[in-house]
Amino acid sequence: MNPETVSEYSVIAIDGPAASGKSTVARRLARLLGFSYVNSGALYRGVAWLTTEHHIPTDDTNAVCAQVRKSVFNFDLHGKELVFLIDGISPEPHLRDEQVNRTVSAISAIAEVREFLVTHLRKFLTWDKPGHGRT
């Protein structure tokens, strides 16, 4: 594949069960093809971390959604890989914490959370200048 002919908007989605190696395969494939790597699952884990930090039960969808709406999400690409902050804090060190593992499925099942994350991620990915994706 010629890197000059690859569209900057090419997307490969990998779906599968939790802990099946999707992120590892996707990261390697992105490097091989010269694509940027965007792990949308990490965003749901970030919201799970956020609710844990604020002691919000995942079954209180109104409180979860209110917290997501009032938080500031910043997206950037570093080394062709998506990184993000929530309220100025990187949740990355906590994305595999046991509490996040236990709650991320419930978080990702909340339609408003999915809509929020997809909308803001798409907005960032179509931004003219990567690195300026504040939502």
pLDDT, the chain, mean = 86
Q: What is the mean pLDDT of residues 59-85?
A: 94
pLDDT of residue 12: 78
pLDDT of residue 86: 98
Q: What is the mean pLDDT of residues 93-120?
A: 95
Confidence category of residue 131, pLDDT binned at 50, 70, 90: very low
What does pTM read for this prediction?
0.82
pLDDT of residue 132: 43
Q: Which residue has the higher pLDDT, 42 or 22?
A: 42
Cβ-based burial of 124 (10 A; exposed 0-12, middle 13-18, buried ≥19):
buried
DSSP, residue by residue, the chain? --GGGS-TT--------TTSSHHHHHHHHHHHHT--B--HHHHHHHHHHHHHHTT--TT-HHHHHHHHHHS-EEEEEETTEEEEEETTB--GGGTT-HHHHHHHHHHHT-HHHHHHHHHHHHHHHT-SSTT-EE-
Q: Give percent above pLDDT 70 in the chain.
A: 84
